[in-house]
Structure 1
Amino acid sequence: MFAFDVNGQNPCQKDKLPGKRDICEGKSQGQTHSQKHSSQTGATPLAEKRGAEPLLSNQCVCYPTTPGSAAKANFQCDLWSIWKHRNNKVWNNITDTTQDICAHASSLLTSWRNAQNIRHPSPQNPSIPNDLKWIKPSSDRFTCNVDASFSQARNRVGIGVCIRDEEGRFVLAKTEWMTPLLDVDLGEALGLLSTMHWVRDLQLGIVDFEIDSKTVVDSLYGRKSGVSNFSAVINDCRRLLASDLVTSDVRFIRRQANEVAHSFARVALRHASFHIHIRIPSCISTIILNEMQ
């Protein structure tokens, strides 16, 4: 194992020259420890000038010394997350917890691996992976797919919504847009919130929501809360799920599995106002028929 003391404390309690790195053998489980000081206080000169607190909590993160590619990837992503936290602390005065730093690293690695799976599909399995296909809802449930599109030329965010039953048959669809143009995460979150209000008023039954924004879904079921506009929208979604939509679920799906809502969201940008469709729109009819099979 390789242990990196993120607070600058020497776990081996050995003397060292200032500004140098120690490597020594752990006593109990054969661990190796590494540490780097820039001064006796353990803070960078820039942090000392700013009077900043230690950048990271007094915790030790351990990494295996196995030369496998997975271990190297984990280590590199964790170092990147620590460096990003350091910059946020010094330049923006934003402090993340150790759990947040590790979560950022894990999310980065997962996103990168997912991207590689799309770009380099396995040649041994020519069939389409399940997470790239839309899956019909279970018995007595509906699925509502939601997506947002963004247009700088029109200064709008388009929202596309499509509800289907357990057989994959079209039930209802809706398009709307909002202005001005928003950032992606906030636009996706507002699209979900608007759709949840609409579905609640329809009273169709048990409706599950699917969206291809992992940031929105992770924030919705996470424990973090903030004071930004995005956090306020997420909190409104949480309240709806806890009160009027207690039997509903919000799931993350890949863009390829959310093609109906994605195509519909682009169409929404061209509409003069919002539309509710009780018949299958021609722009998504082929996709729906193919996904019914």
Structure 2
Amino acid sequence: MLNNSTPECMQIISTITYSIWLARNNKVFQKKHTPAEEVVAHAMKSISEYHLHLVENRLNPSNQASSVDRNSKRWSPPPSNFLKLKVDAHLSDDGRWGFGLIVRRADGRCVGAATRVCAGSQDVAMAEATGLKEALQFVEDNLLSNLIIELDANIIVQALNRKIFPRTKWGNLVRQCSRFLSRSIGISAAWVNRKSNQVAHTLARWALVEPNRNWSSNFPYCILTHIQNDMRGVS
């Protein structure tokens, strides 16, 4: 049977075998019991992250950011008369994905925010691609224009910029997002350092508390301090 298995099947078998061995060691030496479904989930997550790393290296072999500004650890304002929408994804332990979206003006003030939650998996790239899709849906629903979408998933942004879409679920989803962007005037997507995406990251975690909400004022208290700190740095 193994002789007829594909490389992908062999990879799954070997990774699950390793996870079983690791769970066995935890049981013997640390008296820690690991449920079977958790063993399999850990194996599949490892495979997903491995493939994500391979694709990211292929898309961006130099592993360099496009600009100094994108590497900044602080929020940077958009050009005059533009808005900036930041989005981030959070993978919860119960298998759900939480998404945080926040729209801000050049002076740093928040003019809109939203949370989204959906059933997901351990596919990190698919979660980030879904976050971009949710951001574009938010843009369309609210008739926004002159807007820059920023996310800290470099692999997604590189795929958009280079028009290279892997034959995966997340690759197909990014292709759809690319088509939306190509026919939208004044809407673009860019990569940003994770450290400067703290507001969206915090809101993505909060999404599990207040799922599928929209705010135009009275924003969740968990992001207010981050927003105020960012505004102090705007000249």
Shift of 1:158: 0.5
Aligned position for 1:110: 63
Shift of 1:178: 1.0
Shift of 1:139: 0.6
Report the secondary structure of 2:63's partner residue. helix
1:196 aligns with 2:151: no
TM-score by structure 1 length?
Answer: 0.55
Aligned position for 1:251: 190
- Are 1:160 and 1:262, in contact at CA under 8 Å, matched by a contact in 2? yes
The within-5 A match list for 1:140-159 is 140-152=81-93, 154-159=94-99
Distance 1:274 1:131, change over 3 A: same
Aligned position for 1:276: 214
- Are 2:117 and 2:207, in contact at CA under 8 Å, matched by a contact in 1? yes
- Are 2:71 and 2:192, in contact at CA under 8 Å, matched by a contact in 1? no
CA RMSD of aligned residues (A): 2.4
For 1:285 and 1:215, the matched residues in 2 are separated by: 29
Pairs aligned (count): 174
Report the secondary structure of 2:181's partner residue. helix
For 2:182 and 2:119, the matched residues in 1 are separated by: 29
For 1:136 and 1:197, the matched residues in 2 are separated by: 22
For 2:216 and 2:103, the matched residues in 1 are separated by: 10
Report the secondary structure of 1:284's partner residue. helix
Q: Which amino acid aligns with 2:143?
A: Q
Sequence identity (%): 28
**Residue of 143, 163, 186 corresponding to 2:126:** 186
Distance 1:230 1:130, change over 3 A: closer
Shift of 1:232: 1.0
- Are 2:75 and 2:196, in contact at CA under 8 Å, matched by a contact in 1? yes
Q: Which has the higher contact order (CA 8 A, sep 6+)?
A: 2
Shift of 1:270: 2.7
Question: Which is higher, the Rg of structure 1 or of structure 2?
Answer: 1
Shift of 1:286: 0.8
The structure where helix makes up a greater share of residues is 2
Report the secondary structure of 2:187's partner residue. coil
The within-5 A match list for 1:116-155 is 131-152=72-93, 154-155=94-95
Aligned position for 1:218: 158
Shift of 1:108: 5.7
